[in-house]
Amino acid sequence: MTTGPLRLGGVPEHFNLPWHLALESETLTDLEVTWSDQPGGTGQMLARLAEAELDVVSILTEGTVREIAKGLPLTILQVYVESPLQWGVFVPGRSTYAEESELGGARIAISRFGSGSHLMAYIHAERLGWSINPEQFVVVKDLNGAIAAFDAGDADLFLWDRFMTSPLVADGRFRQIGTQETPWPSFVIAARNEILTGRTAEVGRVVDAVVGQSRSLMVRDDGSDLVADRYGIAVAQAKEWLASTTFASRRPADPRIAAEVLATLERAGLK
């Protein structure tokens, strides 16, 4: 049985506030758990899971399903966020692109191959009716890398959560010309299979605590202020995000979600 602290991780974004609230509460004080931010997103987390450097994660649905299908020994414990992720379709503030229909052939910034930003670029292209040449992709590692690529003129297009990027739109560095929603629940909670051997109860307590905090956040009077304060976004944006987000209750994931993801990836040639 694997020993040591349960190593938790997720992107340093507003979706994961319930994880921090759970760790700050008294619910898990008798468990040895650690949290580490994963600014590189899904691709970074999957790599760290494969190397047994993380145990339980909050992670995008599509990338997780894809890697499990490819053989990564990982289990989706449940859906974390039922509502779709609203990916903003961004171009540099000074870009001449004005409409999504003009973006065929654009250089696309992605955090990593196999990441959410990579997979969603294909879904976005599918919706608009064009194909993508792999040479169009520019790997930038994370949001800061995308900012640098835009500033240097090395990329034309980037898909990322529209709420976390709202400050960049406000200051004119990014310009949003569209929105691409995921066709499925946006985030799941996943764990390495090895960590579930003998430690299922511990993992279950963590998930219980996180789900409890997420459900509470949806009805807290100070929820939007808390999100805005912790993540540096405007209160109005935080209110809009909370109003558009549904955290899942405690139940196993519907297997039809994975089937839909795999069918979409197959159409994109990424299965």
Q: 213-218: long-range contacts (C-beta < 8 A, 24 or more apart)?
A: 213/18, 213/19, 213/21, 213/22, 213/25, 214/18, 214/80, 214/81, 214/247, 214/248, 215/247, 215/249, 216/21, 217/17, 217/18, 217/21, 217/242, 217/247, 218/242, 218/245, 218/246, 218/247
Query: Model's pTM, two decimal places?
Result: 0.84
Residue 271 — pLDDT band, cuts 50, 70, 90? low
Looking at residue 47, its pLDDT comes to: 92
Looking at residue 98, its pLDDT comes to: 94
Residue 114 — pLDDT band, cuts 50, 70, 90? confident
Looking at residue 1, its pLDDT comes to: 59
Give the rounded percent of residues in the chain with a pLDDT score beyond 90: 80
